[in-house]
Amino acid sequence: MSKTNELPMPKFTKVRYKAWALDRMTPSNEKTENSYFLSNEQGIEISGISTTYYQLDQELIDQGVILMSVIDAQKKHSELFERLRGQVVFDETDQLTYQNAHQFNTGIFLYIPSHVTVHDVLHLTLNQLATSEADFVARILIYVGDNASVNILQTLNTIGNKVTKASIVVEVIASESSSVQFNSIDALKENTSAYINRQADVRSHAQLDWHNVAFNDGQVVTNLVSQLNGENAISHANVIAITHKKQTQGFVTKVINYGRHSVGHIFQRGVILNRSNLIFNGVGKIIKGAKGSDAQQESRVLMLSRHARGDANPLLLIDENDVTAGHAASVGRIDAEQLYYLMSRGLSEKTARKLVIRGFMGDVLAKMPTKASKQYVIQAIESKLIDEDK
Amino acid sequence: MTTLKIENLHVTVADKEILKGVNLIVKTGEIHAIMGPNGTGKSTLSQAIMGHPAYQVTQGSIYLDDKNLSEMSVDERARAGLFLAMQYPSEIQGVTNAEFMRAAINARRDEHNQIDIMTFIRKLDEKRAFLSMTEEMAERYLNEGFSGGEKKRNEILQMMMIEPKIAILDEIDSGLDIDALKVVSRGVNHMRSDDFGTLMITHYQRLLDYIVPDFVHVMMGGRIVKTGGAEMAKKLEDEGYAGLRDELGLDITLTDEDAD
Ligand SMILES: Nc1ncnc2c1ncn2[C@@H]1O[C@H](COP(=O)(O)OP(=O)(O)OP(=O)(O)O)[C@@H](O)[C@H]1O
Ligand SMILES: [Mg+2]
């Protein structure tokens, strides 16, 4: 671990997170028999370091699909796992990637061979057991082969309420002509300070879309990156976030166009309540030679409290002439006229706000792949609003 | 029967007194029209009744039956039976028209007696068809990208869905083509009953050919200066406000004094 000191901390512009001490973690070995969320879905649930739920169609197993905890993967498919790991998020990028690479002791491995289509939504549920003071250090590694396709719902949850830290690194390889819908709901609890880093290697003619619902209650920095490494690679990186109470959530959402005619769109929507902070950094980067590529981004923040702080910082870094690019960013308050209009039809202020917020986040909400996940998002918006003293 | 009773109402906007003692009684079963020059305070009156926070009541009172509206929030007034079709309806992204109307209806019902989705859809389809609105309108975001005429029609659709006791229609006819004017009028006439009263603000006598009022009021300089029957609107159309002002001997400057 000597190296950690030489590497920089990752950069989250305008987010002050040093005091969270995310570079010092002690991985937890908490185990359990309980599964907390899944009961008859396709997928896997990992709680602490235990696999507490597993279900995968025999047909998929026969086609060579691998779904298991990283602990099992390191035993049963160690060569494959080690070959793929660290290809998208390099171990030595910064202190936090280095730390995760050397300390993770739980997580999920998913391998989908070429030409395999997974029809059902695949649930990847990762639960931090905050029942001791130790931290949660997890890794998710996903390989999707050529022409394969999958729709994933990955959730992050906290069980228990001890004061802890968490580091979660997710690597996705979307091989040529594959299609990946990566939906995630981050719902870590108030006492967990976390670093989340999701990155995808999107190869030629592949499409990978993120729909990230960032509804954590604690202090969190999130890095979401699509590397468009092949010709015609496409990625839409969509994020919705709510911050409340005194929490801070900071984001760097980034798409890098390496491939010709690659398309990267960032879309972020955030709502800020109480005394919380929400910072969206959007980065669109086009590398020289990525002719005909497209980088667009839109980040909007809605402040529902006078004491809140919000930022939306767009950044376009373009080294190629033959491209299209654009950005829009805004930080606004809920429009008093809109609220008045809704209330003049009899809606209480609370209901009116809820409708406006839900509407504000509607595009990503609509993309949630299951009824349960949609319902969760709606429910979570309501419960965060309840805490708002108005 | 429900009565909206406005007495000696004074209203200030941005530190300027706009209404200077309005008296008006609207009962269910009655149709009232208010006419008057631009900037005279007609919308101010409607916003003050609804409770827009920018409009301060400094004197006088507004009662809906025995309820003192000044003590009620905007949404409470709405649930008590008031409705305001606004001159400039807001656009709200992300909230569909249908979702909004259902929420508005449910806000009037108790938690255990919410309107069931089929009943709601049937009602919406019926009213929508009555107003010749497309099915797609219901699923569009609230007023977003609606044309001026579509917004007005949508205000009437909301009114028909919510079924208020007293509706204030602020220039519901402005920007409507002839056919749309007929459709919107049909909507209002359809509501006409002993349980429904309306106060229409308009600049054009033409609307009153379709929705024949029981009373016409003229507002000038922040007061109602004259009240008459439907025939008064015709006379105004011919003689203009300056004629009426001079006839009444009022000392008011009209914005477009030198227009003709
Ligand atoms: N929110 C506001 N802020 C500042 N001034 C206002 C506001 N609302 C109304 N006023 C002013 O009050 C006066 C009356 O306006 P109001 O909208 O009530 O007129 P109106 O009779 O409805 O006119 P029109 O026929 O043009 O609709 C005008 O001078 C207007 O500029
Ligand atoms: Mg007006």
To the nearest whole percent, how much of chain A has pLDDT over 90?
87
Residues of chain A with C-beta less than 8 angstroms from the C-beta of B115? none
Least Cα distance to A39 among A50, A56, A53 occurs for A53
Taking each helix axis from N to C terminus, what angle separates B97-106 and B148-162, rounded to the nearest 10 degrees?
30
Q: What is the pLDDT of residue A304?
A: 86
Measured CA to CA, the distance from residue B141 to residue B150 in angstroms comes to: 13
Element (H, E) at A286: strand A277-286
Q: Which residues lie with the beta carbon below 6 Å from any ligand 1 atom?
A: B 13-14, 18, 36, 38-44, 54, 87
pLDDT surpasses 70 at A143 = yes
| Cβ atoms B104, B98 nearer than 8 A | no
B81, B86, B89, B94: CA torsion to nearest 10? 0
Beta-bridge partner residues of A252: A223, A281
Q: Which two tokens mark B113?
A: 């007696």
Q: What is the identity of the amino acid at B25?
A: I
Cα of B111 to nearest chain A Cα, Å: 13
| Cβ atoms A291, A257 nearer than 8 A | no
Q: What is the pLDDT of residue A385?
A: 85
Q: Which ranges of chain B have pLDDT less than 70? A: 257-260
Q: What is the pLDDT of residue A93?
A: 96
| Cβ atoms A280, A308 nearer than 8 A | no
Mutating to test ligand 1, I would choose from B12, B35, B42 the residue with most ligand atoms within 8 A of its C-beta, which is: B42
Cβ neighbours of A291 (radius 10 Å): 16
Residues of chain A with C-beta less than 8 angstroms from the C-beta of B75? 343-344, 346-349, 352
Write out pLDDT tens, residues A48-85: 999 999 999 999 999 999 999 999 999 999 999 999 99
Q: What is the pLDDT of residue B257?
A: 64
Write out pLDDT tens, residues A331-348: 988 778 889 999 999 999
Cβ neighbours of B114 (radius 10 Å): 14
* Residues of chain B numbered 52-71 and touching chain A (CB < 8 Å): 52-53
Measured CA to CA, the distance from residue A154 to residue A32 in angstroms comes to: 20
Mutating to test ligand 1, I would choose from B12, B20, B44 the residue with most ligand atoms within 8 A of its C-beta, which is: B44
Cα of A346 to nearest chain B Cα, Å: 4
* Residues of chain B numbered 9-38 and touching chain A (CB < 8 Å): none
Write out pLDDT tens, residues B28-78: 999 999 999 999 999 999 999 999 999 999 999 999 999 999 999 999 999
pTM: 0.79
Q: Which two tokens mark A29?
A: 């070995």
Tell me the average pLDDT across A204-213.
98
Cα dist. A186→A4, A126, A146 in Å? 27, 10, 28
Q: In what order do the strands lie in the sheet with A309-318?
A: A66-69, A106-112, A136-144, A164-174, A192-202, A220-228, A248-257, A277-286, A309-318
| Cβ atoms B208, B33 nearer than 8 A | yes
Nearest chain A residue to B105 by CA: give it.
A346
A342 part of contact set with chain B, CB < 8 Å: yes
Q: What is the pLDDT of residue A2?
A: 52
Nearest chain B residue to A359 by CA: give it.
B94
Q: For B3, how many CA atoms within 13 A lie in the half-sphere containing its CB? A: 7
Element (H, E) at B101: helix B97-106
Query: What is the SS3 assignment for B97?
Result: helix
A374 part of contact set with chain B, CB < 8 Å: no
**Judging by DSSP bridges, how do beta strands A192-202 and A50-55 pair with one another?**
unpaired
Backbone angles phi, psi at B59, to 5 degrees: -155, 155
CATH class of the B3-90+164-259 domain in this structure: alpha beta
Pick from B90, B101, B162: which is nearest to A341 by CB?
B90
| Cβ atoms A325, A316 nearer than 8 A | yes
- According to DSSP, residue B177 is labeled -
A349 part of contact set with chain B, CB < 8 Å: yes
Residue where the block lists tokens 């929490």: A247
> Where does the pLDDT of residue A313 fall: very low under 50, low under 70, confident under 90, or very high at 90 and above?
very high
Q: What is the pLDDT of residue A3?
A: 58
Which residues have CB under 8 Å from B235's CB, separation 6+?
A: none
**Judging by DSSP bridges, how do beta strands B55-64 and B3-13 pair with one another?**
antiparallel
Beta-bridge partner residues of B201: B34, B170
| Cβ atoms A198, A170 nearer than 8 A | yes
Q: What is the pLDDT of residue A390?
A: 45
**Diameter of chain B measured on Cα atoms:** 61
Element (H, E) at A138: strand A136-144
Domain extent listing, chain B: 3-90+164-259
* Residues of chain B numbered 198-237 and touching chain A (CB < 8 Å): none
* Residues of chain B numbered 101-160 and touching chain A (CB < 8 Å): 101, 103-104, 107-108, 141, 158
Label residue B51 left, alpha or beta by phi (over 0 means left) and psi (-120 to 50 means alpha): left
Count, residues in chain B: 260
Q: For A238, how many CA atoms within 13 A lie in the half-sphere containing its CB? A: 19
Label residue B128 left, alpha or beta by phi (over 0 means left) and psi (-120 to 50 means alpha): alpha
Query: What is the SS3 assignment for A277?
Result: strand
> Where does the pLDDT of residue A270 fall: very low under 50, low under 70, confident under 90, or very high at 90 and above?
very high
Q: Which two tokens mark A74?
A: 């390191």
pLDDT surpasses 90 at A350 = no
Q: What is the identity of the amino acid at B144?
A: E
Measured CA to CA, the distance from residue A154 to residue A368 in angstroms comes to: 11
Please answer yes or no on whether B74 and A361 come within 8 Å at the CB atom. Answer: no
**Cα Rg of chain B, angstroms:** 18
* C-alpha B43 – ligand 1 centre gap (Å): 6
**CA of B18, nearest ligand number:** 1
Measured CA to CA, the distance from residue A155 to residue A125 in angstroms comes to: 5
**CA of B52, nearest ligand number:** 1
Write out pLDDT tens, residues A242-258: 999 999 999 999 999 99
Mutating to test ligand 1, I would choose from B9, B12, B13 the residue with most ligand atoms within 8 A of its C-beta, which is: B13
Least Cα distance to B39 among B259, B260, B256, B234 occurs for B256
Which residues have CB under 8 Å from A382's CB, separation 6+?
A: A354
Write out pLDDT tens, residues A108-119: 999 999 999 999
Mean per-residue pLDDT over chain A, rounded: 95
